[in-house]
A = this chain, B = another copy of it.
């Protein structure tokens, strides 16, 4: 017991009235009722989960809430990106209203990024905002969507194009849960961990190069990597909550990544988000090299680390045919990171030296993509 507590880490996200804590460590789902009730004086909660995660963790979570006097209802949705739709948003809102969740009651997202994004959006719009607790159950959601308050759904025009900024009131990142992830899913989340090093933490990237095996194995190194990632994201978000400037750095690898996800029709058998980000990170470094911003040795170092952990680094690793480069450009153009018709990209001058480039010519991007595809 004392061991468990000593391993636990707390990252505070200081956003004024919207400040909140992220607890990171083992066994948190079993203690969720206590952690929630001491911080949020709610009498009711609604848990939104997916069928995979819910099958394992819904009962223990319900038990814990009940033990601490919180009456809870639950809704389990199909797993997968297609659940982030207007239809399911409508469904979740309906269930929350049916359960008479009030402004001070809690909506709990128990799941990965899909459940977190959808549930956070619903919690932000039902009664124009009720309490929101995240229990992220994938590495990706623990290091990415648990910080920053971005919520949303997908439309036929692209991913996350509709949503709100809604900071959670509490995040419980139970690291035991990660032991049941598939290797592929864990790896995909790891791409976001690497990203934080490459944005502005060269020492963390070097630490990951040395310690990634321990991070994959679990234990203190994993908790350390998650806490460092959450802290890194929190630092960026606190400086720029509404994404007017610096926050765009978090999109390193994501402009290309999102286009590739669109190109594979969000089919997770071909590409999951983190794999798209991994390829996107590699492409962002190669593109920066092409623009004479970055030496080829840094490109090689980044690719070597991604490959070492088993992540893809080029488009030809994606199974099946990709659509035309025109399609990819279209997907990039519709990306939220468009401003005044110019393309915004995150480029880099070295390991951990990323920056926001506001006016990358579309023609350069097109030529680069053609080259990368060997067209």
Give the interface of A toward B (CB within 8 A): 43, 86, 89-90, 93-94, 97-98, 100, 102-104, 121, 124-129, 150, 152, 155-158, 161-165, 242-243, 334, 336, 338-340
Name the one of B94, B126, B338 contacting A102, with C-beta atoms under 8 angstroms.
B338
Q: Is the CB of B125 within 8 A of A162?
A: yes
- Please name all residues of chain B whose beta carbon is closer than 8 Å to the beta carbon of A97 when the two chains form the complex: 155, 157-158, 161-162, 334
For the complex, give the distance between the alpha carbons of A124 and B121 in Å. 12
A94-B157, A125-B152 provided; 10 other pairs, C-beta below 8 A? A86-B86, A93-B161, A94-B156, A97-B155, A97-B158, A97-B161, A124-B164, A128-B152, A128-B165, A129-B165
Which residue of B has the minimal Cβ distance to A126?
B162
A-B CB contact pairs (8 Å), 17 listed: A86-B89, A94-B155, A97-B157, A97-B162, A100-B334, A102-B339, A103-B336, A104-B340, A121-B125, A125-B162, A125-B164, A126-B161, A127-B162, A127-B336, A128-B163, A129-B164, A129-B242
- Please name all residues of chain B whose beta carbon is closer than 8 Å to the beta carbon of A98 when the two chains form the complex: 157
What 5 A-B pairs are tightest by C-beta distance, nearest first?
A97-B157, A86-B90, A125-B162, A128-B163, A127-B336
For the complex, give the distance between the alpha carbons of A152 and B43 in Å. 26
- Please name all residues of chain B whose beta carbon is closer than 8 Å to the beta carbon of A336 when the two chains form the complex: 103, 127-128
Nearest CB on B from A20, distance (A): 16
Name the one of B103, B165, B243, B339 contacting A339, with C-beta atoms under 8 angstroms.
B103
Q: Is the CB of A128 within 8 A of B164?
A: yes
Number of copies: 2
- Please name all residues of chain B whose beta carbon is closer than 8 Å to the beta carbon of A161 when the two chains form the complex: 93, 97, 126-127
- Please name all residues of chain B whose beta carbon is closer than 8 Å to the beta carbon of A124 when the two chains form the complex: 164
- Please name all residues of chain B whose beta carbon is closer than 8 Å to the beta carbon of A155 when the two chains form the complex: 93-94, 97
Nearest CB on B from A242, distance (A): 8
For the complex, give the distance between the alpha carbons of A43 and B341 in Å. 10
Residue from A98, A104, A127, A334 whose CB has the most chain B CB atoms within 10 Å: A127
Which residue of B has the minimal Cβ distance to A94?
B155
- Please name all residues of chain B whose beta carbon is closer than 8 Å to the beta carbon of A242 when the two chains form the complex: 129
Which residue of B has the minimal Cβ distance to A100?
B334
Q: Is the CB of A340 within 8 A of B86?
A: no
Nearest CB on B from A353, distance (A): 27
For the complex, give the distance between the alpha carbons of A242 and B17 in Å. 12
Q: Is the CB of A93 within 8 A of B339?
A: no
For the complex, give the distance between the alpha carbons of A155 and B93 in Å. 9
For the complex, give the distance between the alpha carbons of A43 and B164 in Å. 24
- Please name all residues of chain B whose beta carbon is closer than 8 Å to the beta carbon of A89 when the two chains form the complex: 86
For the complex, give the distance between the alpha carbons of A164 and B151 in Å. 13
- Please name all residues of chain B whose beta carbon is closer than 8 Å to the beta carbon of A125 when the two chains form the complex: 121, 125, 152, 162-164
- Please name all residues of chain B whose beta carbon is closer than 8 Å to the beta carbon of A340 when the two chains form the complex: 43, 102, 104
- Please name all residues of chain B whose beta carbon is closer than 8 Å to the beta carbon of A121 when the two chains form the complex: 125
Residue from A90, A102, A336 whose CB has the most chain B CB atoms within 10 Å: A90
Which residue of B has the minimal Cβ distance to A152?
B128
Nearest CB on B from A22, distance (A): 21
For the complex, give the distance between the alpha carbons of A152 and B128 in Å. 8
- Please name all residues of chain B whose beta carbon is closer than 8 Å to the beta carbon of A104 when the two chains form the complex: 339-340
Nearest CB on B from A167, distance (A): 13
For the complex, give the distance between the alpha carbons of A121 and B121 in Å. 13
